[in-house]
Structure 1
Amino acid sequence: MKQHTISTRISLNPLLILFFCMILAACSDKKDEQAAAESAAKVHKQKIQSSVDRLVQFPEKDLRANARKAVMEQRWVKPSGNSALEYYLALRQKLKTPDESVETAITDIVPYAVIGMDQAIAKFDDREALRLEGLIRLADPNAPALARVKTDLEKMKARQAEAEANAATDEEAQAAAEAKALADAAKAREEAAKKAREAATTGQPVVQAPVVQAPAPVVQAPPPEPVAQQPAAKAAVTPISTPQPPYPREALASGTKGEVVAEITINGAGDVTGVRIISASPRNVFDKTVQSTVRRWKFRGNGETTTIRRTFAFN
């Protein structure tokens, strides 16, 4: 009986050891998965942080002062992180309650962002077009301009994602090459040290092996930007004063909503010389307020007559 008990214990010990090993392996895998998930979340959080998110950290008085200074210097949407629109968007996020002066400023500046986005799309400047699209979306997620250029923006986002994927692949290949070069250099040094020790033991002269130097990292030049095969476009007019048309009292009282698309003609000096209503829904409700307001708009002219089209939403 005693011999049978000892035999049973001996046969169970390997099973217990295997069981404990499986538990330890499972715990280790779980920790690795958790660490990977935390690392991915941290990278994602850093990636989505925008210039507006960084500006929100400044005190309110500093944001207001910088916003006013940017307006005076006509830094409407540039440079990134130091423009009037970004300061006012940061103020909106920081205050968390509606502020009439902030909302009015954002409404007045958004057309500059729309013009800049259109110009960037025409120049195939994906990075700038997507940056301005993000600012416009923060200002008004339902801005008509976003729907108008939705297809172009989707193509730009696809190109941007492909470029980033290619850059990541190139960086991985470069890192692998550098790691291999460093490993080869370390191996060569180890072999040289081994030969030196053997020579010292046998009393033979030491022959210095050539040291393998790790190659300098190769800087990958960015791919050339696609060149648009089209005639050179004339300089765009720049808005100076473009207030938005007021909501008609009768329409506001009755809760009427609508949209007006207008074609605006601007002379070489930047004055509006004509406003033609392309479409209006409903008709004869918002047309007059759009025409009377837009005729007072002022642009910095380019010396030539320019025609632009704008959509005004009343909702």
Structure 2
Amino acid sequence: MDTRNSRYARSRARGAIKPITIAVLAIVAGLAILSWIFIIKPHEDIVGADAGGHPSTPVAATQQAAPPVNVEALSLNDLLDEARKAMNQQRVISPAGNNAFEFYLKVLQKQPGNQTAADALRETFPFAASNVEQVINQRDFNEAEREIDLLAKVDPTNYTLTILRSKLDAQRKTLDEEQQKQLDDQRQADVAAQKAATDKAAADQAAAQKAAADKAAAQAALVAQQQEKAKEEQEAKAKEAATTTETASATNAAPAGGETRDAIPISTIRPRYPATALRNSQEGWVDVQYTVNVDGSVSDITVVSAEPRHVFDGAAMDALRRAKFSPALRDGEAIASQQQKRIEFKLSTTQ
């Protein structure tokens, strides 16, 4: 290939590229200038160059506390100055009476065609809507409703307002449900506490009544035992005296060959009524077998049968141990002898 032709082709290609590059650079420069004129510069005019604040920045508490301004007394320029100042301090839509939205709306009310106010409201609308959403999430419903109404004066057909109102209604409903649930839980807790207190009072009263009844029954059984013991001692003394007299008379009258007879009790065999049986109003009997010794004492006591079993056995055996006998005689001489006796337990005898 001819090298001269190749160098010529390359030279023509480089020459063709230069105009295209210049044209692209010119277009980029033009777009930059247009962006500055129609976008960046108006926004800087709105926000202001003093503090360089951005409307999307969360509003500080001290700025929210700014006092209301008498907008009716302000001129158009004063309103624009107050609006720029509010934007610099991030008071986009709050507090009420001292925020950029209200100042710009007042400007439009005085001068409907004011482009600065209209552009500022349009550009800051999304930031103000974001602020409203934060207020809704904080459940400051009255403030949120005020801000939504303020946004509606700027762009009443904006779909964002529908979303914000839906969120506001949903949060209100959620709060109502939470409060209702708290009330229901508290009511249930109160009912449960009242029932527990009532049950405890009833249980305490029943326990107190049972304790009083048991105490009264125990006291009645103790009194009955004491009365029975005193009566038994009196009868025993009287019986012993009578038996002693009879024995002496029989001895004196006995023939010279001596007397033969069975053992004779010289005291009443009166058992003590068991307290348990007395409380349960039980009656019964016990057949016992025992030995009367030559000195009149009793030993070898055994229970032959009883009804009911094991209820009166101890009381019957104890009564025989306390009994006194005149021993059996054979030709006038005392001898040990066995006897069997049924001891009955009846409630009528305890009265």
TM-score by length of 1: 0.31
Looking at CA atoms only, which structure, 1 or 2, has the larger radius of gyration?
A: 2
Higher helix share: 2
Q: TM-score, normalised by structure 2?
A: 0.28
